[in-house]
Structure 1
């Protein structure tokens, strides 16, 4: 796991400045504390910050081939790299390291841009092909690793994080108007948007090929939902094959030359991953959980710490639990915003705090991220409309009501509602399957999960920790996406098939435990405090965000009157936090 950046001055009016490239690289120092390198050749420059995981003594980047015509800067892990290395050696390629970076170089030499379809892992990389003057960017299938770019009429810039691109003198930090309502009312950015104007995200499962002053975004992978009648299997067949895929995914993700462990909340997902990892690990597995002191009193018998201890005892792991204070959470809001590069949700500062504590024990951790989106683990799936009837994203209800807070001019300029409608139509009509829930799950994987993965990457890499996600091996995603939804959700029960797998591996108390969100400080009084702060920000002419909103509508919303009488208190609380976080983002980045 690392940080990458680069600049291609394709207009050839000025060479790439090594000083500028070093500033871009330095902005990513937290992602790669173990080393740094740059490659500059007139109009092309590549930068790299290294977090050493495999082949610790070698693997310095940017890395090149034998004749220095292909250069790569790379972030991530290719879990099948040793298999690929053997195949390439059989084709005559010679290796001088035992790291996956060199496999990317030789794979590109052998297969060109199609090499990416052979990689099983999480990755974002850039290749400079000197012979064809081509810059080739690639991002993994699910978007576990972030990759951003900015294209002007003279240069293409890219990086693992936006803050590195902002170091280039051609780029000024400006808010992307369309991203503001998307963040607030969808909690997902659409169409490759970031919060910053002129900076976009390379979509998951895509490559970006830039040659002859022309950009081509090329998809190389997507989930394909098939008709439920195709390749029918029994529940037992689905269960056995899913478990086999999970076992293999966890085994592959244990490769490491540095200390590793597993996050363990005591919930179904993290417990299952930890149990599988403990079965493969060659040493006593380290596990970690967190809670806020007062939350333990509120949660009572459903506290994460209780169930995490139960699971740790059952697996005999080397377990640590971290207890935080509410002040720890609030003190981290601005720092977390700087790392995540967007307004943060309620739980992100907690994730950031957890990774901070982990750094002294491990460099690699396993996470249960992605299970809910694959297997239908969220409560709102229980009464879900058919995908064709959706008018809002299921994870972001009250769109019609809450979007009324927007200044009408902002709503017209951004065409926000039209963009939401077109995204829903496009993503729910791509397949002919008659399984409506699987279509909705596809939405979650492509949009909602992407936000969760970005949060995980940036909060973990803020402390130089690599987080791996066994549920998101693309073989698992391909397979589980087409398991009939009746085996995932039925009669008020969720994650049916995953729970049946878990019954053979976990204590019954873990399998039947009621789902609980990631911990954040719970204080009933904060609902009133937060909504008053949010309303004041909108009513004030001095705040950064007031111009986005209709002051009268906002006042009615927060005071539940004039059409907002029946507004859900949770929706008000979440909106209040989102507005406060938006103001914090503006101040953090000076936009």
Structure 2
């Protein structure tokens, strides 16, 4: 787990940008505090910060490799972990290739030499990497299929810069002539969805390599992107009596994934909340590490913590458990530095306790496992039951369905049946936009009057829905979440909050072999017997403690509604709004009025307020240069 910063110059003048690269590289020292280095030739500069996990004494990057006739043909920078690296080394060794290290990075570049761009389909792991082929003058970069690891890029007349963190590109902006204008379309998407959807960033000229994609470019050329991962959900009916075979396949795939994810030359721990996902991972990890440490977090406010359930789970599976309790004061004080680590705002309050539990875990281990991805792969969100409840509407003629929708709009709020009529009158493409829409259009216009309807969530979701024609309704919702909520929120906070603490997070559910089994599960074995993730629960019956098996997952729930209405965060929120220099973006009087309405109990605006507040803090750091992110004891550049 590391951070890469790579530049392919347009005119073969790499030495002119070497100092700028070296100046920007420390911006992400937290991603790799163990070693740092740069390499360059006439065309390319490769910079790297390393968090040493495998082959600790060797495998420093930038890594050079080549065949016998050109032993330094390639340069590699690689962020992530390849869990089948041992098998890849053996396979490529049998084909006659030799290696200079024992690490998991070298098989990527050797595999690229042998398989070309198809190397990504041989990799089992999480990655963002760049390879420079000095012979063909070609840069090749890629991200893992789910988007666990980030990769930003920006192109100017000077060339193209790739980086694991956007702040490195911001640091180089003046040197490479990069215009840092904000992207209003991306801002509206953020306010609508509470995250910035790929491939956008909040800066118009900085983009992201999309999950499951590769890019190629040559000096002075454009970035050409190719998607290599397209889920197919090849679902087949499971005959009654054969369900156990499927459950066994799930258990086998997940146990193998956890075993592979435990590969490391350092200590591996596990996060543990009160739900089945993290408990299953921790219980399986305990089989490979009898001294496993687990970690969780909670809050001082009673009723908002899974600490007690997590402790009960830890006792049941026999692991030592460590808890971090977060106060409202700690929470508010940490927000500026958390926004700095994030690169761009994600309006998910749970990322703050994730930062604190990662900080605590790093005192004990260098790697942790976690349960991200189980909901998207196995049907874990309650909303996935919706197609079953709305199935009768599918038989209603379209004009009548539209009429029911008009009727729902004139019914009083809170009237029984109003919501059902409203949802039933819409197609899935109209009603389902993922798990985190903060504002409807009318609410959005209240805070950003310049909002345009054609920029709403459907602009993001329509192309994804177009790819899922023919999938069953639950699979269509899962497919949408894989390319929106999961990679826009879940995996961003997982990567950034852990790497902020130089802690490597591994997610065994998001494994290509686990996905091969998960995508074949029929919807009646995802949503069954009044629960979600039914097949996963059955697969884990002999692994997960009984008190957790059918318990709803809460993750790290945050008492944000209460805090914003009370003395904990109301004053902080009011000051943040008043001091923010975002009048050209937000209608600040309306935002202040929303805060007052929330305090007075007129309406629960907590999610909407948090979306705006997170952006304002981010803007104060990266645009206004007004807020000090308070990065303690770090020798970071200050020109951001």
TM over 0.5: yes
1:174-189 maps to which residues of 2 (within 5 A)? Answer: 174-189=181-196
SS of equivalent to 2:6: strand
Change (3 A) 1:233 1:15: farther
Tell me what 1:160 maps to.
164
Q: Aligned partners of 1:159 and 1:398: how far apart in 2? A: 31
Tell me what 2:628 maps to.
none
1:150–1:199 CA contact under 8 A, matched in 2: yes
1:286-365 maps to which residues of 2 (within 5 A)? Answer: 286-294=293-301, 297-299=302-304, 303-344=305-346, 345-365=348-368
Tell me what 2:455 maps to.
416
**2:618 maps to 1:581:** no
Shift of 1:42: 2.3
Tell me what 1:31 maps to.
31
SS of equivalent to 2:87: helix
1:25–1:48 CA contact under 8 A, matched in 2: yes
- Which of these residues, 527, 539, 557, is aligned with residue 489 of structure 1? 527
Instruction: Note the alpha carbon deviations across 1:263-287, whole angstroms, 9 max, x for none.
Output: 1113211101111111222x41111
- Which of these residues, 98, 103, 113, is aligned with residue 99 of structure 1? 103
TM-score (norm 2): 0.84
Tell me what 1:546 maps to.
583
1:25–1:164 CA contact under 8 A, matched in 2: yes
1:289–1:308 CA contact under 8 A, matched in 2: yes
Q: Aligned partners of 2:232 and 2:56: how far apart in 1? A: 38
Q: Aligned partners of 1:292 and 1:456: how far apart in 2? A: 19
Instruction: Note the alpha carbon deviations across 1:430-472, whole angstroms, 9 max, x for none.
Output: 2343510110111111110112111111111111110000000
Shift of 1:106: 1.1
Tell me what 2:386 maps to.
383
- Which of these residues, 117, 134, 155, is aligned with residue 138 of structure 2? 134
TM-score (norm 1): 0.90
Instruction: Note the alpha carbon deviations across 1:204-228, whole angstroms, 9 max, x for none.
Output: 1111100261321011112113365
**2:513 maps to 1:480:** no
1:28–1:164 CA contact under 8 A, matched in 2: yes
- Which of these residues, 222, 229, 243, is aligned with residue 214 of structure 1? 222
Q: Aligned partners of 2:432 and 2:282: how far apart in 1? A: 38
1:382-531 maps to which residues of 2 (within 5 A)? Answer: 382-383=385-386, 387-390=428-431, 392-396=433-437, 398-411=439-452, 415-417=454-456, 420-450=457-487, 451-490=489-528, 492-521=530-559, 524=562, 526-527=564-565
Tell me what 2:400 maps to.
none
Shift of 1:533: 7.1
Q: Aligned partners of 2:142 and 2:236: how far apart in 1? A: 32
Instruction: Note the alpha carbon deviations across 1:7-63, whole angstroms, 9 max, x for none.
Output: 111234664432111112111111111101100112310001111101111101111
Question: Any unmatched runs of 5+ in structure 1?
Answer: none
2:438–2:608 CA contact under 8 A, matched in 1: no
- Which of these residues, 367, 371, 381, is aligned with residue 370 of structure 2? 367
Instruction: Note the alpha carbon deviations across 1:463-508, whole angstroms, 9 max, x for none.
Output: 1110000000022223313311221113542121122222222222
Question: Any unmatched runs of 5+ in structure 2?
Answer: 388-422, 625-640
1:438–1:482 CA contact under 8 A, matched in 2: no
Tell me what 1:64 maps to.
64
Matched residue count: 574
Q: Aligned partners of 1:193 and 1:65: how far apart in 2? A: 33
2:434–2:484 CA contact under 8 A, matched in 1: no
Change (3 A) 1:28 1:290: same
- Which of these residues, 278, 299, 302, is aligned with residue 270 of structure 1? 278
Question: RMSD in angstroms over aligned alpha carbons?
Answer: 2.7
SS of equivalent to 1:218: strand
